[in-house]
Structure 1
Amino acid sequence: MALLEMKVTFKILRQKPDFSPKFQSYTIEVNKGNTILECLDKIKWELDGSLTFRKNCRNTICGSCAVKINGRSALACKENVGGEIEKNPLSKSQNIPEIVISPLNNLPVLKDLVVDMSNFWQDLEKIEPYVCTSSRNTPEKEFLQTPEERKLLEETGNCIMCGACYSECNAKEVNSLFVGPHALAKSYRLVDDSRDENRENRIEKYNNTEKGVWGCTRCYLCNEVCPMGVAPLDQISKIKGIILEKKDVNSSRAIRHRKVLVSLVKDGGWIDERKFGLMVVGNYFRDLRGLFSIAPLGLRLLTSGKFPLTFKSSEGTREVRALIELVQNDNH
């Protein structure tokens, strides 16, 4: 039995060089099972041949058709009309549902829904996304791995480089030096690859406040939008865990921030704010410049009566401490 068709309006952000972007609406008849990519095809073939977008495999393999659908970066070939209407309560209440399509964020727009991916690929290249091994000098030798070693690479190996995580990345939006979640997820694949002989150098390279893992703001959006379940934030966190095991509190402010936070929560169940700034920014009173930088804020808090003069441990501190120690022991 044929699926019932319905009218849906697609509000598409259109743009071309030297012109300001503007929305253009197209109302077409589709069914709920149609993918967004099928709807874009219908608009281009039947209503407006000038509409420009990328596509290739149409089967969630190539990543070419990544766009923003109702404000969320996604693959147009994976999402369908019914799903988008269900996700958008406002659209459900309209006589004719509306779906908004726009290009990916954090990348220059070439035309309509097509973005320039050059920065995306250049950021990936910065982490040297290939296995480094002397075995390359002996072509007749295979790169043998055990099933257990290969299993470690399954999650990150699913990345199709669609750019959805890059588009949603808040850190990339405010810091152009940050290499992006796609690159750092690939980084963990190389750190965990038994065939790679550059592990220690990689870890040192990724231990960077602006470009590397500490530039991540942990907003979780990359995990939310990844169509392949790669979970870039999880991979970034794993690299951070490796670095934290190797470095002490004096290594950098980013490392000290994490270690002090965990230490204070273990001691009191939550963070003692009186100590946190002094220990992280002031480096346990060793960094005079850091101490002077937070002195004005401390004085303002004192004079306004907002500086906590005492600290009381939270209820359940022992349970919190036990949980943290259990996790730390498991990681070792």
Structure 2
Amino acid sequence: MEIIFKIYRQQQNSTPVFQTFLLQVEPGNTILDCLNQIKWEQDGTLAFRKNCRNTICGSCGMRINGRSALACKENVGSELARLAKISSSKAETNPLPEMTIAPLGNMPVIKDLVVDMSSFWNNLEAVAPYVSTAARQIPEREFLQTPQERSLLDQTGNCIMCGACYSECNAREINSDFVGPHALAKAYRMVADSRDTNTENRLENYNEGTKGVWGCTRCFYCDSVCPMEVAPLEQITKIKQEILDRKQAQDSRSIRHRKVLVDLVKAGGWIDERQFGLNVVGNYFRDLRGLLSLAPLGLRMLIRGKFPLSFEPSEGTEQVRSLIESVQEKEV
């Protein structure tokens, strides 16, 4: 079958352009096979990373038709099927199917599909991604773990550092301080590791401002593109819960946001917005500056009739409360 490949071409600090290549391929050919064909037969200057070709090394991460993925894992047939589900009209207007290949996001381009991953690796290093045993006496052999303790590390241990989650991270795009989902997934591996003796300091570090877990916008993109099912958002949520178990609502606005939300839903089935702003931003009337910051918004809402003067609990509040309490008891 014939297919058009539109490849993002760019030299460092130059304007990007898309170059078109016409290929004869089979549905089972991987995207990496196709890129190799272009490089070997049509344009030897095309730059991209590759290595194992077996979804192990993570080298060939790139954006394939708008989403970050591994070129060695995705094939022509599956991609065309995915595109057909997204938009059937595109296949009707274009006689030949198209593949659009671009570099990973949130990182500067070096050349074509090769990006500078310095920020990716620097942010990983920022979470201290190695087991700390400084507080323990060094044993004669090794630190032993039970199968149950080791099983807690299996999911995060599957990360191959391909950069797909980092590429799609909305929080990273707007907040350069946020370390990224890859780093926080690795961070949870350290928190869950029974051999580590630095858990409390780690959680303080991951709790700091929007650099750590509170910078996550919970958009789920990292989970949706991860080729190894590491589920970075799930790991970030686990770290948040570890922090919440150790903190009081007065400790920070981020902590209050989570705790107040749960408490209000337990109380009324949904969020009483009048209390939510006062308790989170105003810290239960303790933060005068926070309360004053709410005044202009509250006044505008009153003028436009948007401020709820009363609160009516939702139907089934008792059931909602029971579900939340059951989950909390299970966590304990």
Give the TM interval when normalised to the shorter protein.
over 0.9
Structure 2 counterpart SS, 1:279: helix
What is the letter of the counterpart of residue 291 of structure 2? L
- Does structure 1 conserve the Cα–Cα contact (< 8 Å) formed by 2:60 and 2:72? yes
Structure 1 segments of 4+ aligned residues over 6 angstroms from their partners = none
C-alpha RMSD of the superposition: 1.2
Match of 1:228 in 2: 228
CA shift, 1:95, in A, is: 1.8
CA shift, 1:135, in A, is: 8.2
- Does structure 1 conserve the Cα–Cα contact (< 8 Å) formed by 2:244 and 2:255? yes
CA shift, 1:144, in A, is: 1.2
For 1:183 and 1:7, the matched residues in 2 are separated by 40
Match runs of 1:80-229 below 5 Å: 80-89=75-84, 90=87, 91-93=90-92, 94-134=94-134, 138=138, 140-229=140-229
Q: Does 1:271 align with 2:271?
A: yes
CA shift, 1:139, in A, is: 7.4
For 1:227 and 1:262, the matched residues in 2 are separated by 32
CA shift, 1:104, in A, is: 0.4
Match of 2:322 in 1: 322
1:24 to 10, 19, 22: 19
1:72 to 67, 80, 100: 67
- Does structure 2 conserve the Cα–Cα contact (< 8 Å) formed by 1:135 and 1:141? no
Structure 2 counterpart SS, 1:8: strand
For 1:32 and 1:140, the matched residues in 2 are separated by 55
Deviates more, 1:109-118 or 1:139-148: 139-148
What is the letter of the counterpart of residue 107 of structure 1? M
Deviates more, 1:205-214 or 1:61-70: 205-214
Deviations 1:259-314 (A, max 9, x none): 00000001111001111101100011110000111110000000111111111011
Structure 2 counterpart SS, 1:250: helix
Structure 2 counterpart SS, 1:134: coil
- Does structure 2 conserve the Cα–Cα contact (< 8 Å) formed by 1:86 and 1:92? no
Structure 1 counterpart SS, 2:53: coil
For 1:18 and 1:130, the matched residues in 2 are separated by 35
Match runs of 1:293-332 below 5 Å: 293-332=293-332
For 1:210 and 1:321, the matched residues in 2 are separated by 30
Unaligned segments of structure 2, at least 5 residues: none
For 1:75 and 1:293, the matched residues in 2 are separated by 46
For 2:33 and 2:140, the matched residues in 1 are separated by 46
For 2:275 and 2:128, the matched residues in 1 are separated by 39
TM-score relative to the length of structure 1: 0.96
Residues 268 and 84 (structure 1), Cα distance of their counterparts in 2 relative to 1, 3 Å cut = same
For 1:74 and 1:143, the matched residues in 2 are separated by 36
Q: Does 1:289 align with 2:284?
A: no
Residues 316 and 25 (structure 1), Cα distance of their counterparts in 2 relative to 1, 3 Å cut = same
2:31 to 28, 36, 54: 36
What is the letter of the counterpart of residue 241 of structure 2? G
Structure 1 counterpart SS, 2:204: helix
Structure 2 counterpart SS, 1:28: strand
- Does structure 2 conserve the Cα–Cα contact (< 8 Å) formed by 1:153 and 1:192? yes
For 2:162 and 2:137, the matched residues in 1 are separated by 33
Structure 1 counterpart SS, 2:250: coil
- Does structure 2 conserve the Cα–Cα contact (< 8 Å) formed by 1:208 and 1:215? no
For 2:13 and 2:245, the matched residues in 1 are separated by 50
Structure 2 counterpart SS, 1:100: strand
For 1:140 and 1:46, the matched residues in 2 are separated by 58
For 1:61 and 1:73, the matched residues in 2 are separated by 16
CA shift, 1:81, in A, is: 0.3
- Does structure 2 conserve the Cα–Cα contact (< 8 Å) formed by 1:132 and 1:196? yes
- Does structure 2 conserve the Cα–Cα contact (< 8 Å) formed by 1:85 and 1:92? no
CA shift, 1:18, in A, is: 3.2
Report the identity percentage.
Answer: 66
TM-score relative to the length of structure 2: 0.96
Count of paired positions: 327
Match of 1:58 in 2: 53
Structure 2 counterpart SS, 1:270: coil
